[in-house]
Amino acid sequence: MPIYEYRCRDCDHDFEALVRGRRMPVCPACDSDALHRRQSAFAVGGTSITVPAHTGGSCGTCGDPRGPGACSIN
């Protein structure tokens, strides 16, 4: 049972719905069935995460307060 993201074409309400079988959901705000299924970020995948650069104080890899190279992860 997949969870889909929808936008109501009548009231512009964004929501998620658990879809069972072929039954189409209705908008929880206005009960309209004029919905547009949106592509979710999870379905697209491959989002990038930016990791801040080392600013001193901790290892940056494991968070060891003794600094870079102090742990056995390196």
Which tens digits make up the pLDDT trace of 9-42?
999 999 998 888 888 899 999 999 999 988 766 5
| Better-scored residue on pLDDT, 21 or 71 | 21
Residue 36 in domain = yes
- The pTM is what? 0.51
Task: Give the up-direction half-sphere exposure of residue 33: CA atoms within 13 A in the CB hemisphere.
Answer: 3
69: in domain: no
Query: Which has more confidence, 72 or 46?
Result: 72
Q: Residue 31: inside a domain, yes or no?
A: yes
The pLDDT score that the predictor gives to residue 74 is 47
For residue 28, is it within any domain? yes
Q: What is the pLDDT of residue 14?
A: 92
As for how many domains the chain has, the answer is 1
Residue 72 tokens read as 């056995």
Q: Is 22 inside any structural domain? A: yes
User: Helix or strand or coil: residue 33?
Assistant: coil
Residue-number span of the structural domain to which 8 is assigned:
3-44
8 lies in some domain: yes
Mean pLDDT, rounded, of the chain = 74
Is 68 contained in some domain? no
